[in-house]
């Protein structure tokens, strides 16, 4: 019980002060059928923070984070990762591009938005 409480306290501390941590904060995104759960549609971060973006997908394709121009190749069963230091504040849209989609296809709705708040 004591251990459990200590772990909880640690979790709370690391969530409350992401900008002060030197370790990248992990942002897990699960793409299922080309979409994410409603709770993952907006991710919040603070400028200056370093994120470890970790993405899984049940379909092959790519995740494209506009603005930061990060493209992650996605293969089912393999987590794709990118580390990014957030130097620009604003709202950035991420899209899922299916492996079989035509290159000319225009973007549909965003997979999720990354809100980077100025300090
Ligand atoms: Cu795109």
pLDDT on residue 13: 43
pLDDT on residue 47: 97
pLDDT on residue 119: 85
Tell how far the Cα of 12 is from the centroid of ligand 1, in angstroms.
34
At 38-59, the pLDDT tens digits run 999 999 999 999 999 999 999 9
Average pLDDT of span 9-17 = 45
**For the CA atoms of 102, 108, 111, 115, what is the dihedral angle to 10 degrees?**
120
Tell how far the Cα of 13 is from the centroid of ligand 1, in angstroms.
35
**pTM of the predicted model over 0.85:** no
pLDDT on residue 24: 96
Q: What is the DSSP letter of 38?
A: G
Return the CATH fold of 22-117.
Answer: Immunoglobulin-like (2.60.40)
Residue 109 makes CB contacts below 8 A (sequence gap 6+) with none
Decide: 111 and 104 in contact? Cβ < 8 Å. no
Does the CA dihedral 54-42-46-15 come out positive or negative? Answer: negative
pLDDT on residue 12: 43
Tell how far the Cα of 22 is from the centroid of ligand 1, in angstroms.
30
Average pLDDT over the chain reads: 86
At 66-107, the pLDDT tens digits run 999 999 999 999 999 999 999 999 999 999 999 988 877 778
> Please, which residues have CB less than 5 A from ligand 1, an ion?
64, 95
Tell how far the Cα of 78 is from the centroid of ligand 1, in angstroms.
21
Tell how far the Cα of 69 is from the centroid of ligand 1, in angstroms.
8
């Amino acid at each position: 019980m004591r251990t459990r409480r200590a772990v909880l306290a640690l979790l709370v501390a690391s969530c409350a002060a992401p900008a002060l941590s030197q370790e990248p904060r992990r942002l897990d995104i699960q793409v299922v059928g080309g979409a994410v759960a409603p709770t993952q549609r907006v991710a919040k971060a603070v400028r200056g923070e370093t994120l470890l973006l970790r993405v899984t997908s049940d379909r092959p394709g790519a995740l494209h984070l506009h603005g930061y121009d990060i493209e992650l190749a996605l293969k089912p069963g393999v987590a794709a990762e990118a580390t990014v230091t957030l130097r620009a504040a604003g709202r950035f849209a991420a899209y899922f591009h299916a492996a079989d989609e035509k290159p000319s296809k225009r973007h549909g709705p965003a997979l999720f938005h990354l809100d980077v708040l100025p300090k």
